[in-house]
Amino acid sequence: MIVDPQNVPISQGSNYPDLFKPRVAGRLKQRLGDAVGLSNFGVNQVTLQPGGQSALRHWHTKQDEFIYVLSGELTLITDAGEQILTAGMAVGFPAGEANGHHLVNRSEQVAVYLEVGDRTPDDQGVYPDDDLMAKHGDQGWVFTRKDGSVFED
């Protein structure tokens, strides 16, 4: 199936608990993989506004992640520190590698990138900087505090 990204709906917001949603308010996603009927992995085209961030800093227990920058400049923040990514650069995060990461747009220009991740069942998201954990199951992502308690919104 062929799809023009301009015809793929843009989603803004997050399924994070309300406390964390403002931190990713500058992120716009287009679910290209879903639009072409992929089921084993997802491909999103993400537009990150100046000052926006891709996610809370995290890593996955079972999911590989891959990022390819299409335009603009992004700051990659990992356990090793910060690095600048520009158009044509790529980075990968193997499943189970405890290296919290996210992207921040500290430039004054919009940045666009592709994010690719597999859909391995029973994945967990680990958030080293926040009192948050995520488990993926049949109903999608479920977020709790690290002690397992639910968020009161």
pLDDT at 150: 87
Please report where in the chains the tokens 């650069």 appear, as a residue.
89
Mean pLDDT split into 10-residue runs, the chain, 153 residues = 95 93 96 96 97 97 97 98 98 97 98 95 94 89 92 75
> Which among 65, 66, 126, 50 has a CA at the least distance from the CA of 95?
65
Domains of the chain listed by start with CATH number: 5-123 (2.60.120.10)
pLDDT at 153: 62
pLDDT at 109: 98
Q: What share of the chain is helix, strand, coil (3-state, %, to 5)?
A: 10, 45, 45
* Count of helix runs (H) and strand runs (E) in the chain: 1, 13
